[in-house]
Structure formats: structure tokens, C-alpha cells
Amino acid sequence: MKKNMHNLVFLLCLVLFFGAFDTGVAYFGEEVWPYDINDYEATRVAHPEEVWDRVFFGNSAVISAYRENLSEAGYVNLGMDYAVVRDLWELLDEGYLKVGSELVVGLNLFALYDDLPTNPSYIWHRGRLEPYVYFHRDKLLRIAEGIQKLRDGQTIRYRGKGIDSGMMTDEELAEKVASYEENYFCLPIEDFQENIEALDKIADWCEDHGVRMRVLWMPFNPDVERPELLLELMQIVNDWCAQRGITVGDYSGQFERSCFLDVGHLNDEVGAARFTEVIDPWLLG
């Protein structure tokens, strides 16, 4: 009986130790090792405060377009690779994002596509009972490899959010458009319903928390004909916004070709600064 009690105490201590270790890694991981982090984690490193008063959410189109350092509006750029509207709802619902007063949702076709491949390392994809260490097992292995590189005197570059430089040639742009036409522009509207419905949940959350929600249509290259699918999605969302009393900003057709890397990403040389300058009065409105 006494031996069984000792075993039980030992197991309990082991569970408590691993629980504390897992919690510590989850809490301090990005702060002590900001070299291999996803876009959500990179935003957290840049903005460690618990509540972000003003947030500009979207996918990589938002990353490439909005420059916090050039803006007077004071929004956190929560652009993330492969992010969709449903990700924003999960962030809010699970408490990974707390907004103080303003939320702008940057939209394009891909931010509304239900089956868009995601980044599996985003924390809201972690199961409720799944340990942090197990969820990030591949990342922790790369951290161990990185520590060994540092011990060997090698340099590791900080991996923050990517920015887009340059401008595609006509041939490159045509190839990109052909790929989009084959894989995305031909999709049925039914493939976008989950994210459209998530907008409703986000609007309810904003009403409950005293946050003003607005929708912004991200820029689209003027040398590319906008697909009927995008126009249909814009109409559906705009009608929904009108019913909910949500302001819509349409900046999809306001920028010239020289601002773009490709179809929907603005370049760093011209587009990002131009977008931030144009959008700031609207953000401050």
C-alpha cells in the first residue's frame, strides 16, 4: 500500500512537472527563440501587450500592403500567410486575440476560401488537450538544431513576416493568372460559405465587446480582369455588411500596376507606402 502511494505521488509529480514545463514553453517560447515563428507569433513578438486596441486582420495581402511604421492610424498588422476569416473567428473565440476598439477585416477571394491550405503551426489549430510541446514538436526539433548551430558559432537570422519586392513581368503575371483561373477563379460559391458565415460570428463578437468592425477589400492588379467569382463574393459580403450596418472600404481598384508584385500582393518599393498613405484617412475615420 505504501509502495503504491509512493508510485502515485511520483506519477503526480511527473505530471505536474511536465505540465509546468509545457506551460513555460508555451508562454516563453516565442520570446526566447524568435527565429522560427509563424506570422501570428511574429506579430505577438512585435506587440507583446495583451490587448491590441486597433487591429487590421487579413492574409498575406495585408502583410504586404500595410506598413505600421508609415501609418498614423495605430493599427496592428495582423496579416498572416494563408489566413482566412475563420481563423479570425477562432482567434477571438479562443481568446488568442483581444481587440480594444477597432477591427478591420481585409478581404480578398483567398481570405474567404473554405479549403485554402493553412499553416498547421498556428496555435488555434492545437487540440484542447494537446500539449504545446507535442503540438510544436517539429519546431522544437528545429530549435534544438538552431541551438547547436549557435554553439558552433553559426549565425541564425530572425525570420519575421515576409515582404514582397519587385514586379512580375507580363509573362510571369500571365502564368500566375492562368494558375489562379485553373485552381481558384472557377470554384463554386458554395466553397466560400463557412468563411462568409464566420463574418457573422465576428460581427456578433464585436457587438458584444464594444468593438467597431469594418471590412476592406484589398487591392487587385488592374492589368488582370477581376473574375466573376470575386465580384459575386464582393456583392454577397457588401449586402451582408449593409444589413449589419458595417462600413465597407473598397480599395480593390485604386492602385496602378507598378504597385503590385503579382495579382494581389503590393510590392515594398511602391505599393506598400502608397497603400498606407491612401488608407490612413479611412482607418482614422
Confidence of residue 255 (pLDDT cuts 50, 70, 90): very high
Q: Which is higher by pLDDT, 134 or 82?
A: 82
Confidence of residue 43 (pLDDT cuts 50, 70, 90): very high
| Average of per-residue pLDDT across 50-74 | 97
Per-residue pLDDT for 19 more than 50? no
**pTM for this entry:** 0.81
Per-residue pLDDT for 129 more than 80? no
> Residue 130's pLDDT is what?
53
> In this predicted model, what pLDDT tens digit does every residue of 168-183 receive, in sequence order?
999 999 999 999 999 9
Per-residue pLDDT for 49 more than 80? yes
Question: How would you classify residue 282: left for phi > 0, otherwise alpha for psi between -120 and 50, otherwise beta?
Answer: alpha
Q: What angle do CA 96, 29, 33 make, to 5 degrees?
A: 125
Confidence of residue 141 (pLDDT cuts 50, 70, 90): low
Lowest mean pLDDT among 7-21, 26-40, 161-175, 267-281: 7-21
| Average of per-residue pLDDT across 203-211 | 98
Q: How far is CA 213 from the centre of its chain?
A: 17
